[in-house]
Amino acid sequence: MKSADNEAPTELSPVDLRGYRAALESARQGKASAGIPIGSSLANSERVLAAAHNRRVQDNDPTAHAEISALRAAGRRTDHNELTLYTTLAPCALCSGAIVQFKIPRVVVGEWTNFTGEIQWLRSRGVQVLIMEDLEATALMHEFITSYPELWNEDIAHYGAERNRS
């Protein structure tokens, strides 16, 4: 796992492993329900508080990204600054904005091979970002992007000439 471009790998705690597993299971649920296979969860230092998957397709809601759905599932809180957000894919601009808005200090990302997201922007805002390079999450997204490129481009708001696979 990488915590920054030039830093040594960082180990995950048992809560981190549970948090990431919850996000990955949510991504699998997203795929099983004919949606976009991205999952996310939130945890404090003791337990997973909420988990959700991208629901844009299922709910016809352009803001129902996995990270936003996990925040909604966790409900109103005053302790976001003590939480870790887990996500199977690097957060996009929408989700990164929410991470910064709610002052979530730490994000564990499953993969950023298929989509680099806003990792550098999060880091520039003081968020600790750990990248797992999870092969299952990478394969889930690669399969989805290859099979449904139009839906993927819609999800990341790439229109017209912007359209690509990352």
Write down the residue that tokens 């696979």 correspond to: 165
Strands, sheet with 106-111, edge to edge from the N-terminal-most edge strand: 48-53, 39-43, 84-89, 106-111, 128-131
Whether 118 is catalytic: no
> Is 63:88 a contact under the CB 8 Å cutoff?
no
Task: Please state the separation of Cα 135 from the chain's center in Å.
Answer: 15
Of 46, 67, 111, 143, catalytic: 67
Angle, helix 14-32 to helix 66-74, in steps of 10 degrees: 120
Tell me the catalytic residues.
Answer: 67
